[in-house]
Every structure is written in structure tokens, then in C-alpha cells.
């Protein structure tokens, strides 16, 4: 039996952003720069930051003050959304899961919900600040998998892509 090598589809921020907009048309987004300005502006109500990555990924690094919610859509219904949550900004590695989450929040009637465009990879690639499990600043990010991890600058990866399992396309 001949081996079958799977070639991953081409990957770029532009193609990913287009796919996210097409799949989740009601999800509003914020750029890394817009979120950074918001977090620095003491006159604005700070957003609830929701991290939609695995425990392992969250423990490597996350935005200061972020709460982790399971990346599995089935678990989102179990999240106890406060009666008036105020603004929510969700993020994951690249924006796909967080856009899906924001689209779901929109269906629930939450009006002040955004996803971080380009996710945590875009945030840290652009110089955004992160903290690790111990609360100390870090520049490293778990690359998630060997496909989307290519969008994270190599020097910012907590582990090399070769050590990760290939993704399911």
C-alpha cells in the first residue's frame, strides 16, 4: 500500500481573515492596536478578556487578567455569563474559535463582544505584552499545532513546530 502524504492548504493571514469573515459575518473584531489602546485607556470600562485555548496553551502565556474558557463550543453553553457582562474581548491563537464564540454571544444577545483579529499570535507578533502561568511577563506562546503555528514568529514559539502533532484539516 502506497503512503499518502497530505499537503496542507496554503496559509496566510489574509486567507484566514477572509475565511473568518465569511464563516462568522456577525462577529465584530478588534485589531491588536485597538485592544492595546483600550487596555491603556483608564477612562474606558476594561473588557472581560476571554482566552479560548487549551489549558496547556494558556499556561504558557496569556493576556494579563484573561479568564480561560474551554475552546470546545459544547462547553460555551456552560459558561456562566454575568447578567450585564460589560464589554467582552475573546481571543484564541489565530481568531477562528474566538470569532465563533463572539458570533454565539451575539446570538445570546450580547452586544459588546469582539474577537481579537489575528488572535494571540498576531498580538505577540506585533509586540503585545503577555504573562505566563506565574504572572510574570513572557514573550513565548504555545504554537498550538504545526499548521497554524506557522503564523507565529519562530522566536516567539515556546516549542518547535516539529514537536507538535500535525493538525486535522
| Section 27-51 average pLDDT | 96
Nearest to 50 by CA among 5, 104, 8, 89: 89
**Domain range enclosing 80:** 28-136
**95-114 average pLDDT score:** 93
- Asked if residue 107 has pLDDT above 60, the reply is yes
**Residue 131 and residue 16: Cα distance in Å, rounded?**
26
Question: pLDDT tier at 160 (50, 70, 90 boundaries)?
Answer: very high
Angle between helical axes of 96-107 and 13-23 (0-180°, round to 10): 20
Identify which has the larger pLDDT, 166 or 21. Answer: 21
Residues 136-156 pLDDT 10s: 999 999 999 999 999 999 999
Residue 4 lies in a domain: no
**Cβ atoms of residues 63 and 91 within 8 Å:** yes
Its sign, for the CA torsion 154, 155, 157, 160, is: positive
Is there a domain that residue 99 lies in?
yes
Is residue 104 situated within a structural domain?
A: yes
Let me know if residue 84 belongs to a domain: yes
Is residue 147 one of the residues assigned to a domain?
A: no
Q: Are strands 67-68 and 28-30 parallel, antiparallel or unpaired?
A: unpaired
The H-assigned helical ranges of the chain are 13-23, 32-40, 55-60, 73-76, 96-107, 119-125
Could you tell me the CATH number of the domain that includes residue 130?
3.40.250.10
* Residue 156 placed within a domain: no
| Higher-confidence position of 5 and 114 | 114
Instruction: Count the domains in the chain.
Output: 1
Residue 126: inside a domain? yes
Q: How far is CA 133 from CA 15, 60, 61, 88, 120, in A?
A: 32, 6, 6, 22, 16
The confidence score (pLDDT) of residue 153 equals 97
Which of the residue ranges 28-37, 63-72, 105-114 has the most confident prediction, judged by mean pLDDT?
Answer: 28-37
Q: Is the pTM of this model over 0.95?
A: no
Residue 16 lies in a domain: no
Amino acid at each position: 500500500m502506497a503512503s499518502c502524504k497530505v499537503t496542507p492548504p496554503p496559509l496566510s493571514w489574509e486567507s484566514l481573515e477572509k475565511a473568518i469573515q465569511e464563516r462568522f459575518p456577525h462577529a465584530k473584531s478588534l485589531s491588536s492596536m485597538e485592544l492595546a489602546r483600550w487596555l491603556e485607556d483608564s477612562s474606558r470600562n476594561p473588557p472581560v478578556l476571554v482566552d479560548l485555548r487549551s489549558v496547556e496553551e494558556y499556561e504558557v502565556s496569556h493576556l494579563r487578567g484573561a479568564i480561560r474558557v474551554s475552546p470546545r463550543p459544547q462547553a460555551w453553553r456552560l459558561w456562566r455569563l454575568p447578567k450585564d457582562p460589560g464589554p467582552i474581548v475573546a481571543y484564541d491563537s489565530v481568531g477562528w474559535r474566538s470569532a465563533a464564540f463572539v458570533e454565539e454571544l451575539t446570538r445570546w444577545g450580547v452586544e459588546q463582544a469582539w474577537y481579537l483579529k489575528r488572535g494571540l499570535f498576531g498580538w505577540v507578533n506585533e509586540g503585545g505584552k503577555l504573562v505566563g502561568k506565574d504572572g510574570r511577563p513572557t514573550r513565548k506562546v504555545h504554537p498550538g499545532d504545526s499548521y497554524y503555528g506557522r503564523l507565529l514568529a519562530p522566536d516567539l514559539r515556546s516549542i518547535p513546530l516539529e514537536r507538535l502533532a500535525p493538525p486535522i484539516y
